[in-house]
Structure 1
Amino acid sequence: MNEDSLAERFEARRGHLRAVAYRMLGSLSEAEDAVQETWFRLSRTDVSDVGNLPGWLTTVTGRVCLDMLRTRRSRREELGDERLPDPILTHDPEHEILVADQVGIALMVVMEALAPAERLAFVLHDMFAVPFDEIAPIIDRTPAATRQLASRARRRVRDSAPAPDPDPARQRQAVEAFLAAAREGDLEALVSLLDPDVVLRVDVGAGGPLQVVRGARNVAGRAMMFREIAKTIETVVVNGAIGAVDATGGSPRSLMALTVVDGRIVTMDIIADPGRLRDLGL
């Protein structure tokens, strides 16, 4: 196979590989790096005997991401560097494939807590239907052990990641009602629009830990503190769900991803790191 033909076949799969890498890493820039490394490995490998090149590319991308996750995990344990996954505003056509099945930020946060091998097994099998016997060699496990890893990860995700309301109109209604209550300084209305066990996570950057607030009244109290800012917040679509952005002065100051279940907000994930907002191209 000549290099031009190989490059064409790789480019035809680039979007899929970026989707795999984004779900594995939760970072757009690292996903791009992983896909580029996959191309380097492809260009240096004789694949003339590979019968399923798309499958080969997917597993190589998974292997690259696994190595990156392990390195990142060691670094974060050492430095205490925590951050929310990169959000995606789906008005950008280039990124639509990444969130075609609405992989929300709340789900990505839960996946961040999985061990690298668990995350690989869960993402490749549950999200991309890769058979366990193809995943097993990547993590040096048997297919049966790989199945157990995916099952354990699936339970953790199911128990910890709320499934958002599938109706965007109902999501928007809850989010807009919350923003209206914040603008009016109506504490009780805010509390009524939040799940009793709502979790607020704020990433302010600078290598610091995430700020985490739990409970409807505590989160509503935080919203009351930013009553004036709420006047300039507008709704947007973040990872396939209704979110919000504060663009006071014409420049994004924060981006909020929300999960709405049964008319109430159950998670709020806010990125307020100016550097990250710039890097995301908002």
Structure 2
Amino acid sequence: MKLPFNVDLKNKVAVVTGGSGILCGAMAEALAACGAKVAILALGQEGCDAKADQIKAAGGTAIGINTNVLDKESIKRAHEIILKEFGPCDILINGAGGNHPKGTTTNEYLLPEDLDNEELTTFFDLDPEGVKFVFDLNFLGTLLPSQEFAKDMINKEGATIINISSMNAYTPLTKIPAYSGAKAAVTNFTQWLAVHMSKVGIRVNAIAPGFFVTAQNEKLLFNEDGTPTARSQKILNSTPMGRYGEAHELIGTLLYLVNNDASGFVNGVCIPVDGAFSAYSGV
């Protein structure tokens, strides 16, 4: 991976949840390219191994561990493997997250005639279990790994936690109230944890990506012929740069936040990487 600038992470141990995905996978590659020993934690051993093998093929050090970030025992088992293979954690990237169809409405707006249409999922039809799943995955999926791995970081120089929030936390998108609310909770928790950990030397920050194409949203953004869907076109129209972000464009912010020399006094912030989406009023 071509890095925007060099950061020396030799002898550092980085744990990346959701590390088999597109965005956090790129982060894992970048950390390894800077010399860190990287543990890829995600559901599915095959995906974890594939990303770890990719990093090792590029000359890095990595291990993949099938991990459920909602299961404390699963996280604990992963921690034990990492301690044995690499040592204590220095950097934690909380990237596991996602949405669920049962926490999503069919339409952007509620119209009177929708109430009698059984084919639609309106606000009143949102499934509590679906909403709970989204909140658990995004919020508890950030809190539980932090509880486990922050134990390694206390009073350790350069220790840092980086949570992956979203621009949905600030400007909720239509149709996905559960995901927007859950990411808002992640941003708020980032601030809370930064204060809570400030006396033991652990910095806690977040990155809020704007619109990036991932495996989770690709079918929502593009038709089968590759043309943008109507929702995709609305997103692009609301992003002044007029395009989607690319995974490598998150790396500069990531490396800035993990570099204690560059950002040692940066704590409790959430940095947007969004092509000016959050700055655009629409007019």
Interval containing the TM-score (normalised by the shorter chain):
under 0.3
Give the structure with the higher percent helix. Answer: 1
Greater C-alpha radius of gyration = 1
TM-score by length of 1: 0.22
